[in-house]
Structure 1
Amino acid sequence: MAHRFTCTERVQFSDTDMAGIVHFSNFFRYMERVEHAFFRSLGFSIVDPPVEGAERVGWPRVHAACDYMAPLRFEEEFECELLVEEVRHKVIRHLIRFWKSDGELAAEGRITAACVRKDPTTGKFKAIEIPQRFRDKIEAASHELLRRPERH
């Protein structure tokens, strides 16, 4: 079962501010990209397509936060590391770390996503239990992996 996923990104010019470093808001875009890539690696999509005999669900974010430690600059490659921090009945929480190529931690963020279903009558979203097809492939990472390391 999956509890960790990594991918490499490169800072684009449009990601940077006047100082030439990644603008803080773009870390939230990076977090979303790595979350989507994690779901794809498991054979899912963050936008759940209709599946015969399966309930269609969505994953709206109910919380997002990010702490910044070191700047990322234009053209710099960095590693995004997603760790499944917690899987509850209706919610998944991800811990996402951004590693500079020298092993320094650039930032650390968290996303909490609720599993929801759209009521066909009212059109409103309602939190539901995470379907078994997701639970069969996702588990929380160990406490050792979740502890903030000094260096990668």
Structure 2
Amino acid sequence: MHRFTCTERVQFSDTDMAGIVHFSNFFRYMERVEHAFFRSLGFSIVDPAHAGEERVGWPRVHASCDYMAPLRFEEEFECELLVEEVRTKVIRYIIRFWKGDSELAAEGRITAACVRKDPATGKMKAVEIPQRFRDKIEPAPHEMLRRPDRK
């Protein structure tokens, strides 16, 4: 799968004194849609141990967000996750936030590394993405990755 969407609603606690979503909350939204994407594939972001493999984790090594239009209290919006790239040890996502009238409110990017805890040192070490993930996650077509003006 290369695309996942879900609908959210702006909560009062997400907003600033002007009644619009505080910029930092877009990072929470990005994490929520990523977790929902994993669940839709039958995974959890908290990976249980699998036969013959230790668990993996997905720490962020990059996160950014560009803002185009405000989201306001009680407004519904669509979160669209696109898999931008799957490398040997890293997955890159583009996450778009669409207002009800198909206006792009924001566009974020996350890069998550696949890691395992080194039993000897206890430190996280980047590892190859296990095949069970690679079998279900693929990059979106290039035309979907270009930032559109409208849906």
TM normalised by structure 1 equals 0.98
Count of residue pairs brought into register by the alignment: 151
Following superposition of structure 1 onto structure 2, how do residues 1-150 of structure 1 map, counting pairs within 5 Å? 2-150=1-149
Matches of 1:89 and 1:110 in 2, distance apart?
18
Structure 1 runs, 4 residues or longer, greater than 3 Å off: none
How far off its partner does 1:52 sit?
Answer: 2.3
Matches of 1:119 and 1:79 in 2, distance apart?
38
Name the aligned partner's letter for residue 86 of structure 2.
V
Name the aligned partner's letter for residue 106 of structure 1.
A
Matches of 1:44 and 1:20 in 2, distance apart?
35
| Root mean square deviation, CA, Å | 0.6
Matches of 2:128 and 2:64 in 1, distance apart?
24
What does the per-residue CA deviation read over 1:12-35, in whole Å, with 9 as the maximum and x for residues that have no partner? Answer: 000000000000000000000000
Matches of 1:50 and 1:114 in 2, distance apart?
18
Name the aligned partner's letter for residue 81 of structure 1.
E
Name the aligned partner's letter for residue 93 of structure 2.
H
Matches of 2:50 and 2:73 in 1, distance apart?
41
Structure 2 residues not aligned, in runs of 5+ = none
Structure 1 residues not aligned, in runs of 5+ = none
What is the identity percentage for the equivalent residue pairs of Structure 1 and Structure 2?
87
Matches of 1:122 and 1:147 in 2, distance apart?
42
How far off its partner does 1:150 sit?
Answer: 1.1
Matches of 1:32 and 1:118 in 2, distance apart?
22
Matches of 1:22 and 1:75 in 2, distance apart?
10
Name the aligned partner's letter for residue 88 of structure 2.
H
